[in-house]
Amino acid sequence: MNNIKKPIVIVGSGFGGVNAALHLRKNNADFSILVIDSKTKFEFKPLLYEVFSNEIKSWEVNPSFNSIYANSGITFIQNHVNFIDFDKKLLFLKDDLKIEFEYLVLSTGSSPNDFSIKGVKEHCSFFSTNNDQFSLKKLLDKPISVGENNKIFIIGAGPSGVELACKVSDLYKSKFEVIIVEKTSEILNNSKIFNKEEAEKSINKKNINLMKNCSVLEITDEQILLSNNFNDIEKIPYFEVIWTAGIKPNLPEFNKQIQKINNKILINNNLQLQDFPNVFAIGDISQTDSNNGFPVTAQVAMQQGEHVAHNIKLIINNEKLLPFKFNDNGEMMSLGIGKASISGIGLTLSGKFAFDIRRIIYASKMPKIGRGLKSTASWFLEKKSIFKSIL
């Protein structure tokens, strides 16, 4: 076993980072583990739509990192990592703080990508964080005057765009016209067929206007400029534009050029950086070159978090590292108030029952994440005695 003098440092305490830290701690009481995150609270993003619709309270899905790591022996520091020197094994944080590491796990996640389209940053709302959902709700709750434009454009018909459109439509159908704009000819290009079909049914039923084969050229303070396949340009006034069309990895700066793929950190099958075997990168910020990459999901980040903990133990013990294998446990989608669709884990299911199961699965998947989610699960378990036999 290698003698470790400096800590194992995890930068980013989202789905990947929390799982890495807790699994590292689980079987290795003597490891010194330090977690750094810019925020004070965990964000359970898959349930952000339900926080937006008040179906879940934000405290239930945003436990503080202090509560997650309490009594675990894991040290948590709230700070932002700006720069990493891989050669000196040194992190440079805000306020001139420097931290040395022996092994490093990067799990800093992603944020919305505006693809440098003019006006997106200045004029759009986003839906990626708890602050985003709070600001959006505040904006949409504002009264609109008679004759004022009532069009809400949601850009991108991926899971985020479709799930958000369904909630916005259910919550504000008497007030706003909801329009989804999608560049390609299909919605949910990478989703399971069952979920795609259920989403299409929901979009039709809710009278959400779906503009396919339509790209955003520019957003001004009053209008959205769209172009179709024939390069016809349309300028449409809006009440609000919500940008859910893509993400980019959150990367600190590095002392060396590192290998990247699709702007993400290129990792090998053991989740290590190619040129720095003591550095691992997991979740939304990393990709292997063996395929198109794994889905950019919490499920992948969580599994990689657990795997990286195992591989760090192996590397410390001078043993051979194991390649990461993704175990696809299916896909769940929120489709409006009290409705969802599930495909995988041996079942396809939609509607109210799928909504309840989705919440239970999310709550029970992360029992260590905090009291909030545990209470969500127990609330359901009490209400739905049927699940007592399933779980």
Ligand X SMILES: Cc1cc2nc3c(=O)[nH]c(=O)nc-3n(C[C@H](O)[C@H](O)[C@H](O)COP(=O)(O)OP(=O)(O)OC[C@H]3O[C@@H](n4cnc5c(N)ncnc54)[C@H](O)[C@@H]3O)c2cc1C
Q: Please report, as ranges, the residues that interact with ligand X according to CB under 6 A.
A: 11-17, 36-39, 45-46, 48, 80-81, 107-109, 127-128, 160, 250, 252, 283-284, 296-299, 301
Nearest approach, Cβ of residue 2 and ligand X (Å): 26
Alpha-carbon span 24 to 31, nearest angstrom: 8
Residue nearest to ligand X (CB): 14
Alpha-carbon span 278 to 8, nearest angstrom: 10
Task: Name which of 124 and 226 has its Cβ closer to ligand X.
Answer: 124
Tell me the two tokens of residue 34.
């330090």
Task: Name which of 80 and 175 has its Cβ closer to ligand X.
Answer: 80
Nearest approach, Cβ of residue 51 and ligand X (Å): 10
Sign, CA dihedral 231-161-208-240, equals negative
**Ordered strands of the 347-351 beta sheet:** 331-334, 340-344, 347-351
Sign, CA dihedral 195-201-203-205, equals negative
Nearest approach, Cβ of residue 80 and ligand X (Å): 4
Task: Name which of 130 and 270 has its Cβ closer to ligand X.
Answer: 130
Task: Name which of 169 and 299 has its Cβ closer to ligand X.
Answer: 299
Nearest approach, Cβ of residue 188 and ligand X (Å): 12
Task: Name which of 37 and 306 has its Cβ closer to ligand X.
Answer: 37
Nearest approach, Cβ of residue 165 and ligand X (Å): 12
Q: Where does residue 133 rank: exposed (0-12), middle (13-18), buried (19+ CB within 10 A)?
A: buried
Nearest approach, Cβ of residue 19 and ligand X (Å): 8
Q: What is the DSSP letter of 275?
A: T
H, E, C per residue of 145-196: CCCCCCEEEEECCCHHHHHHHHHHHHHHCCCCEEEEECCCCCCCCCCCHHHH
Task: Name which of 105 and 226 has its Cβ closer to ligand X.
Answer: 105
Q: What is the DSSP letter of 64?
A: B
Tell me the two tokens of residue 76.
């948590």
Task: Name which of 77 and 225 has its Cβ closer to ligand X.
Answer: 77
Nearest approach, Cβ of residue 385 and ligand X (Å): 27
